[in-house]
Amino acid sequence: MPKLTRSQLSHYSFAGLSVLLATLLMLLLDPVLAMTQSPFLLFFGAVMVSAWSGGFGPGLFATALAGLISTYYFLPPLYSLSLNWVSGSRLSLFLLEGVLISVLADALRVAKQRLERTLSKLRSSEAEYRQLALQSQEQAKTLKAIFAASVDHIYVFDQAGRYGYVSDGGAQVLGFSPDALLGKTWRDIGLPAALMEPVDAQREKVMATGRSLKSETDFLTDEGVRSYEYILTPLSTDPSTQAVVVISRDITERKQAEVARHQALLREQAARAEAEVQRNRLYSILVQAPASICIDRGPDHLFEFANPLFCQLVGNRALIGRTVREAFPEVAGQGFFERLDQVFATGEPFVGNEVAARLDRQGNGTLEEGFFNFVYQPLFDLNGAVEGIITFGFEVTTQVVARRQAEALAADLRTQQLALQKSEARFSRLVEANLIGVLLAGPNGTILEANDAFLKMVGYTREDLHKGVLNWSEMTPPEYVQQDQQVLQALAITGSCTPFEKEYFRKDGSRLPILLGAARLENDALAWVCFVLDLTESKQTEALLRQQAEALARANRLKDEFLATVSHELRTPLNAMLGWATLLRGKQLDEATQQRALETIERNARAQNQLIDDLLDVSRIITGKLRLDVRPVVLVSVLEAALDSIRPAAEAKSLRLQSLLDPAAGPISGDPDRLQQVFWNLLSNAVKFTPKGGRIQLRLERINSHVEITVSDTGQGISPEFLPYVFERLQQADSTTTRTHGGLGLGLAIVRHLVELHGGHVQVASAGEGQGTTFMVTLPITIFRPEPTAHARVHPTVSDTVPVLDAPSLAGLKVLIVDDEADARALLATLLRQSGAAVTVVTSAREALATLTQSTLEQRPDLLVSDIGMPEEDGYMLMRQVRALTPAQGGKMPAIALTAYARTEDRIKALAAGFQAHVPKPVEPAEFIAVVVNLSERL
């Protein structure tokens, strides 16, 4: 390795110090001047100074060092040596320019040195002077070639502002040839003063100070505003020969990119704020959930959240910020840590049923065994990687212990039966001990002898036994007679029988469930010894367990139905909101369509907000946290406000609204907002279930010491079977996928609870389906008369934006859309038409079948997109009818199931019905178009 001289070391050290000084200045100026937007601004000066003072090597060293520092501190992503395409391109240009500047400066430096040597030698040899002149010309050609190869525009001005050199690129930008510019000023060739005067002023400043400058200028051209960056550097410090090099670069695209990044940052900040609102709402729901819930993050399972039920379950120990292993050291070796690690590693959920766990709930080191049903559900980040686990659980210790006790009791019974058969001595001791019922039975139902335990079971006395009142045949219910005959046959053949269950009538006529075992006496073929065990407690336990199992199954069924309904009711408005928002971001809609999209998003956001409000109200009702803001209330104002809120919906269905409000009714004391919620709910139901042209009547009148508010309609009515369940939570007259009306089945339950909180009660009456419905709310009157007030309930809206992707062309593809919701139909039709497809839209399965059967071969759709939940006939029924058609009628056409029912079983059901794809709502446009393209490629 060659050694550097002291002079060379000083040049390289100076180059390093120049770059470090430029770095320090950039870091100091960055908060004020945003130096990250011009990451190489001061490094050009450092490179030029290093190359000029030390030559090509120090200049190249300064270029490389500046590029490395800029990559880490000033190019995105910051504080990283990784580069994206744009940053890599900018760095490459800087390195190239640094090399060119180093070559140029080195060449100028060498030329200067050679020129000085040549001048000294001219005194001694004219031939040498000519030789040096030729060398200078060659060097000038080299510099010119270097300038011509640069992507920047390079100009050299003398003291008078005349062009001494112009690169080919620079001359082309000005619209002249290089030779036409030499020796002339910018005024001589007629360049715009607005562009050149700032540059000329900076040139004079550089010549006056001898220091380099860097600036930016915006200039208005025929193509719009263009931005330029200038670097001005003096070529000589001698005032008599001083010239200035101007390096110009068009940075318009970079400026535009910076503006775009700023706008994207603003959008991201808005999205983060909205996400925080949604996160807070989800947090509230999880805190109030009736299950034990916790969330942990990372491979170490660090606790991030635990609701009150979970904290109570584990003894209210400190959890947040601790890992699972730190929070539950006593659980080590019980398998829970390993299951969590497996779920985090594989992304597959784990379901545990009646899993035993030994916990230190008291915090004193004593382990208590409990049994739990729980689910470990992985949480995924945006890249699909597992980032955490959410745990849902219930304690089932009581149920498990009860079942195990019943099993242990049955095992004990079997053990006792075996012991009874071992010897007569044990039998005698057992009879005397009265542990179980023992009797000596004879033919025709006679009971020859019995111990006190048996007599106590059946309610007879020993005197009754001696009188011959007891008869096992007469004590046997008729349904067990045949079983007794079979047992007698077994006793006659084998001498014993397998213990069996039956019942006896007690003396008071009640039934006694027993377990009975019998064996024939060896010395008497017509007598049997029988062992009787009272199963009353066991049967009661079994009945209780059975009831609990049935209640649990019903609760699970209701939970599944409720979750499916919640999914449907939340995904349905989300489908239209997400789809229209995506199309709006595409900026390809006309003004009218944009307005309709915004109205659709707002309407569905309000609907979704109402659903969430209902869920939160029910949660508050369950936990007893629903509170009233009680004040004097004028009911007329509250009822009129409720009428005004539903009037647009009623007018849209041509419904007649009648109000008979007695202004003297009242006053009452209550929460006006909650009362308006009650009457808005009842009126909304009336609008929902009343057909077009119907009538809705609202009546307020005073009856004795209370007021009565009646909401009646001429709608579809309520069946007698469903009337008792109208005000129950999660109860709907129609919860199938073919139901005509949406909803969670919570509104009327909330109505009942709010009315009862006000000291009133609510009733419903209906003559049957198609006969209309009448709801009657009764509220107590207060002893004072308040001033009239009116409070309007406001339902906030939320919105979201999703980036839209360029969809592939579907030109020539004919698509049939089947959906009963107008918003969903409009969204899908717009999305497909923007991709070039020909779209036919129908509202029901019946219309879809008519379209297929009546279309010619040229008109027949190539692809079917159908909703699942539709009135009268759902998507499954439609698909079965389509698959029954001939191929010429479209029986083999590809089909997509588009539905808010998004469970795994729903997807399996859709595929089994004949659909080729199952797309859940809300629809992601890019995913939907990709599915359409995939199916269309099979045609």
3-state secondary structure string across 296-311: EECCCCEEEEECHHHH
Distance of alpha carbon 413 from alpha carbon 515, whole angstroms = 9
Q: 330 and 429 in one domain?
A: no
The whole-number pLDDT of residue 250 equals: 79
Q: Is the preceding omega at residue 672 within 30 degrees of 0, hence cis?
A: no
Identify how many contiguous H helices and E strands the chain contains and give both numbers.
27, 27
Q: What is the mean pLDDT of residues 181-209?
A: 82
Q: 737 and 864 in one domain?
A: no
Other Cβ atoms within 10 Å of 595 Cβ, number: 11
Q: What is the mean pLDDT of residues 532-540?
A: 86
The whole-number pLDDT of residue 727 equals: 78
- Residue 158 backbone zone (phi > 0: left; psi -120 to 50: alpha; other: beta): beta
Question: Pick the residue with more confidence: 431 or 12?
Answer: 12
Instruction: Give residue-wise pLDDT tens across range 99-154.
Output: 888 888 888 877 777 877 777 776 665 555 466 557 656 766 766 666 666 667 78
- In the predicted structure, residue 740 carries a pLDDT above the cut 70: no
Give the 3-state secondary structure of 214-238.
Answer: EEEEEEEECCEEEEEEEEEEECCCC
Question: Pick the residue with more confidence: 623 or 14?
Answer: 14
The whole-number pLDDT of residue 805 equals: 46
Q: Which helix (H) or strand (E) holds 573?
A: helix 536-585
Q: What is the mean pLDDT of residues 875-900?
A: 90
Supply 730's token pair.
């999660």
Find the DSSP H helices in 664-707: 672-689
Give the 3-state secondary structure of 238-291.
Answer: CCCCCCEEEEEEECHHHHHHHHHHHHHHHHHHHHHHHHHHHHHHHHHHHHHCCC
- Residue 264 is assigned to a structural domain of this protein: no
CATH number at residue 446: 3.30.450.20
- In the predicted structure, residue 209 carries a pLDDT above the cut 90: no
3-state DSSP assignment of residue 754? helix
Q: What is the span of the domain harbouring residue 929?
A: 814-936
Instruction: Give residue-wise pLDDT tens across range 827-857.
Output: 889 989 998 999 999 999 999 999 999 888 8
CATH number at residue 771: 3.30.565.10
* Nearest alpha carbon to residue 397 among 375, 357, 370: 370
The whole-number pLDDT of residue 802 equals: 40
The whole-number pLDDT of residue 353 equals: 92
The whole-number pLDDT of residue 256 equals: 81
Distance of alpha carbon 668 from alpha carbon 638, whole angstroms = 12
Distance of alpha carbon 229 from alpha carbon 211, whole angstroms = 17
- Residue 774 is assigned to a structural domain of this protein: yes
Distance of alpha carbon 156 from alpha carbon 164, whole angstroms = 5
Supply 568's token pair.
């449907």
Q: 170 and 102 in one domain?
A: no
Name the percent of the chain in helix, strand, coil, to the closest 5.
50, 20, 30
Q: 218 and 364 in one domain?
A: no
Q: Phi/psi of residue 842, each to 5°?
A: -130, 165
Supply 149's token pair.
């190869």
Q: What is the mean pLDDT of residues 61-89?
A: 82
Supply 189's token pair.
């060739």
3-state DSSP assignment of residue 771? coil
Q: 137 and 11 in one domain?
A: yes
Give the 3-state secondary structure of 466-506.
Answer: HCCCCECCCCCCHHHHHHHHHHHHHHHHHCECCCEEEEEEC
* Nearest alpha carbon to residue 755 among 684, 700, 681, 683: 681
Q: What is the mean pLDDT of residues 698-707?
A: 89
Residue where one domain finishes, among candidates 83, 118, 151: 151
- Residue 342 is assigned to a structural domain of this protein: yes
- Residue 280 is assigned to a structural domain of this protein: no
* Strand bridging mode 447-450 / 500-505: unpaired
Distance of alpha carbon 20 from alpha carbon 16, whole angstroms = 6
Supply 663's token pair.
């202004």
On the 0-12 / 13-18 / 19+ scale of CB atoms within 10 A, 291 is middle
- Check: CB of residue 163 under 8 Å from CB of residue 155: yes
Share the mean pLDDT of the chain.
81
790: confidence class by pLDDT, cuts 50, 70, 90: very low
- In the predicted structure, residue 555 carries a pLDDT above the cut 70: no
CA dihedral 439, 440, 446, 448 (to 10 degrees): -100
Q: Helix 822-834 vs helix 536-585: angle between axes, to the nearest 10 degrees?
A: 50
Q: What is the mean pLDDT of residues 199-223?
A: 80
Edge-first strand listing for the sheet containing 838-842: 838-842, 814-818, 863-867, 895-899, 917-920
564: confidence class by pLDDT, cuts 50, 70, 90: low
The whole-number pLDDT of residue 191 equals: 80
Q: What is the mean pLDDT of residues 24-53?
A: 79
The whole-number pLDDT of residue 651 equals: 85
- Check: CB of residue 657 under 8 Å from CB of residue 670: no
Q: Phi/psi of residue 557, each to 5°?
A: -65, -45
The whole-number pLDDT of residue 688 equals: 84
Q: 477 and 335 in one domain?
A: no
Cα torsion angle, 504, 508, 510, 512, sign: negative
DSSP states of 700-733 as a string? EEEETTEEEEEEEE-SS---TTTGGGTTSTT--S
Query: Within a 13 Å sphere around the CA of 266, how many CA atoms are in the beta-carbon half?
Result: 5
Distance of alpha carbon 650 from alpha carbon 695, whole angstroms = 9
- In the predicted structure, residue 801 carries a pLDDT above the cut 50: no
Q: Which helix (H) or strand (E) holds 164?
A: strand 163-166
Give the 3-state secondary structure of 725-753.
Answer: HCCCCCCCCCCCCCCCCCCCCCHHHHHHH
Question: Pick the residue with more confidence: 939 or 479?
Answer: 479
- Check: CB of residue 244 under 8 Å from CB of residue 232: yes
Instruction: Give residue-wise pLDDT tens across range 603-616.
Output: 777 666 666 666 66
Cα torsion angle, 135, 137, 138, 139, sign: positive
* Nearest alpha carbon to residue 572 among 917, 870, 816: 870
The number of residues in the chain equals 939
622: confidence class by pLDDT, cuts 50, 70, 90: low
Supply 379's token pair.
């949480």
Instruction: Give residue-wise pLDDT tens across range 510-523.
Output: 999 999 988 887 66
- Residue 116 is assigned to a structural domain of this protein: yes
* Nearest alpha carbon to residue 765 among 729, 724, 733, 730: 724
Q: 68 and 15 in one domain?
A: yes
Distance of CA 466 to the CA centre of its chain: 78
Q: 509 and 482 in one domain?
A: yes
- In the predicted structure, residue 736 carries a pLDDT above the cut 60: no
Instruction: Give residue-wise pLDDT tens across range 397-408.
Output: 988 888 888 888
Distance of alpha carbon 271 from alpha carbon 286, whole angstroms = 22
- Residue 801 is assigned to a structural domain of this protein: no
Q: 158 and 147 in one domain?
A: no
Supply 790's token pair.
């009116």
Edge-first strand listing for the sheet containing 163-166: 163-166, 153-157, 244-250, 224-234, 213-221
Q: What is the mean pLDDT of residues 625-634?
A: 78
Q: 617 and 593 in one domain?
A: no
Q: 234 and 350 in one domain?
A: no
- Residue 216 is assigned to a structural domain of this protein: yes
Question: Pick the residue with more confidence: 365 or 782?
Answer: 365
What percentage of residues in the chain have a pLDDT greater than 90?
A: 18
The whole-number pLDDT of residue 793 equals: 36
Distance of alpha carbon 932 from alpha carbon 809, whole angstroms = 11
Q: Which residues, at least 6 apart from 558, have a Cβ–Cβ distance to it below 8 Å?
A: 730
Place of tokens 């003063």: 193
- Check: CB of residue 295 under 8 Å from CB of residue 388: yes
What percentage of residues in the chain have a pLDDT greater than 70?
A: 83
3-state DSSP assignment of residue 917? strand
| Residues paired with 675 in a beta bridge | none
- Residue 518 is assigned to a structural domain of this protein: yes
- Check: CB of residue 81 under 8 Å from CB of residue 72: yes
Supply 724's token pair.
């008792």
The whole-number pLDDT of residue 838 equals: 93
Supply 196's token pair.
């050149």
On the 0-12 / 13-18 / 19+ scale of CB atoms within 10 A, 697 is middle
Q: Which helix (H) or strand (E) holds 390?
A: strand 386-395
* Strand bridging mode 668-670 / 656-661: unpaired
Domains in the chain, number: 7
The whole-number pLDDT of residue 747 equals: 72
Q: 623 and 580 in one domain?
A: no
DSSP states of 337-374 as a string? HHHHHHHHHH---EEEEEEEEEE-SSSSS--EEEEEEE
CATH number at residue 887: 3.40.50.2300
Residue where one domain finishes, among candidates 534, 565, 592: 534
Instruction: Give residue-wise pLDDT tens across range 421-457.
Output: 554 555 555 555 566 888 888 878 888 888 888 898 8
